[in-house]
Amino acid sequence: MFRDLGLKVPINFVTAPGVSLTAACFPFLRYEDDNSADCLSNLLASGFRRLEVDLYWDQMRQVWSFCPVAIPASVSPAVPSAIPTTASSLSSSTVALTSAEATTNLLVRQETSEATASSSSPTSGSPTITSSISFRSDSPSTTSASASSLGSVLPKISVIPDSPNAPLYSIGEYTCTTTINLSTLTSQLVDYLQKTQNTLAAHLLSITLNIHAVKSVSNINGPAPEPTDLPSSFNSLGALFSANLSAYMYTPDNLRTDRTNLNASWYSVSQRYWPVQDYYTTTTNQYGIVSTEDGWPSESYIEFSRSKRLLLQFGSVDPQMTDYNFSADASTIFPHDYMSTDQSSSISTTPSGNLTSGCFLSSTSSSLSSSNSSWATISALPNFPYPTTPTSNLTSLLNLTSSLTACGISSTLNTTLLNTTARTNPFSYQSFSYATIWSWAPDEPRNATSALDDTDSSLFRCAAIDPELGYRWVVTDCSDKLYAACRAPGQPYNLFAPLLYSPLFEVPLRDVNANTSS
């Protein structure tokens, strides 16, 4: 339901929670296929829509790896770094969304012997999250071998028993499998996109690719050497992602073509999929062709009209990798930070997570600051007390995250919460993600049995916003006569109610559905 409220807003003005896979999945320098797949699955199931990925070019094995150190060339990878796309799977240029009845609920996975469990995460300013989640039971992992001394002595490389066909190698302080390559990510994305390719579960995903060179075994404590054998066109990131995910990717070429002729793109579909025009500028030529230089499509257009789900951009690039052929990927991967504008330098906050400066939207007016809030993001604030120890409290971070969302800024989690991974403890990461959602008030949504005695339970199926509960959603009687909030023409941030006679003054135009984390 909450996704649907923003379907007409251009995607560059829609906030979404982000996370660094390095912080959430690999803080202890252990890189395993199965564990990382579980971790990524938990993050996606928790609602993260922006992923920051660190990839390392290993020239000896000619693969993009998650492991920061070179694995001996004599060890051959068990699988290639790309999953060949069969003609029967993703051969078409688009993948149609199925009907809502096909919804597949993704479940958070965790290493546990129990089949099901419940957990509550403390929140402040957002509802208490109680989740009944099905876990996946994994075989126990072995303990990593102790790293040998560094310096002039080469790190000891020892094979550690793991699951079949996936030996672990302890290389200095790193523990890696030979198969934790780009395919680990792309195969997981294919699985997720296929399972959520329906009108209720579909969401956009954006991935930022940070590019590195692997460290040398001979100097594992020093900087990575500059590779002499950079990726070929076959091993370029654009080619590898396209081979697996082209049917789902909205690319720079797509955006360029759409912007050139809006009559034939955004405005050629049902008007309910058009992006709200107040967010971007347009020009019309003598032939009536409308174009834009700064506009982005709405999520409804990308997903429901084009059946696209994935956007890629380059993030940071190591100096050793500056000669990588970025031009070869220009048609499929957006340039460096094209979809993110860091706001760290302009944000100030209290230790409790309340913003003191940097908010785009004034609390006393409906106008924006002079700064452009397009793709506004933030990943870390200096001196903010992030909850990184097992006994830390999440409240301040969740307050900050909710405040940033209300100000039009997308939060990226670049911290290992409570010193645990998203595989081991997904609930703290889920709390962060949920804090970014314009969400239900505490103890909502209630079901029909929670209605007052004089309320017809069959009518207890609508939602409204309660300003006394932080402008969050509550379930209400559909027979209540409440005024809808209206957006002033030409003022995308000015919502008002014509008359106010009840604390409940905004009512959506659809029933509440069960997918409350959307």
DSSP output for 145-197: PPPPP-TTSPPPEEEE--STT--EEEETTEEEETT-BHHHHHHHHHHHHHHT-
Which uninterrupted H or E stretch holds 50?
A: strand 50-58
The yes-or-no verdict on residue 138 having pLDDT over 70 is no
The yes-or-no verdict on residue 214 having pLDDT over 70 is yes
Which uninterrupted H or E stretch holds 245?
A: helix 237-245
CA geometry: angle at 262 spanning 257 and 266, to 5°? Answer: 95
Name the least confident of 5-9, 164-168, 468-472.
Answer: 164-168
Overall pTM > 0.95:
no
Instruction: Over range 501-508, report the average pLDDT.
Output: 40
Contacts of 40 (CB under 8 A, 6+ apart): 21, 25, 51, 185, 188
Instruction: Over range 414-422, report the average pLDDT.
Output: 97
- d(Cα 218, Cα 160) in Å, to the nearest integer? 21
Q: What's the pLDDT band for 97 if we cut at 50, 70, 90?
A: low
Share of the chain above pLDDT 90, in %: 51
The yes-or-no verdict on residue 91 having pLDDT over 80 is no
What is the model's pLDDT at position 99? Answer: 47
DSSP-derived letter for residue 43 is H
Strands (E) across 330-488 are located at 341-342, 348-349, 355-357, 376-378, 410-413, 462-466, 472-476, 486-487
Residue type, position 140, single letter: P
Instruction: Over range 135-149, report the average pLDDT.
Output: 35
Instruction: Over range 467-484, report the average pLDDT.
Output: 78
Measured in whole angstroms, the distance separating CA 378 from the mean position of its chain's CA atoms is 13
Which parts of 1-85 fold into alpha helices (H)? 2-5, 21-25, 33-45
Q: Which residues pair with 30 in a beta bridge?
A: 175
What is the model's pLDDT at position 451? Answer: 53
Instruction: Over range 421-426, report the average pLDDT.
Output: 96
Which uninterrupted H or E stretch holds 121?
A: strand 116-121
**Nearest residue to 229 (alpha-carbon basis) of 53, 61, 83, 79:** 61
- d(Cα 477, Cα 453) in Å, to the nearest integer? 12
Mean residue pLDDT of the chain comes to: 78
Is the previous residue joined to 27 through a cis bond, with omega within 30 degrees of 0?
no
Instruction: Over range 19-38, report the average pLDDT.
Output: 96
Burial of residue 42, with CB atoms counted within 10 A of its CB: 0-12 exposed, 13-18 middle, 19 or more buried = buried
Q: Which residue has the higher pLDDT, 137 or 272?
A: 272
Tokens of 169: 């190698």
What is the tens place of the pLDDT at every residue in 452-474?
Answer: 555 556 677 788 888 777 677 88
Which residue has 């909205």 as its token pair?
A: 250
Q: Which residues pair with 129 in a beta bridge?
A: 121
What is the model's pLDDT at position 113? Answer: 33
What is the model's pLDDT at position 467? Answer: 75
Instruction: Over range 54-64, report the average pLDDT.
Output: 96
Q: Which residue has the higher pLDDT, 95 or 247?
A: 247
Instruction: Over range 475-484, report the average pLDDT.
Output: 80
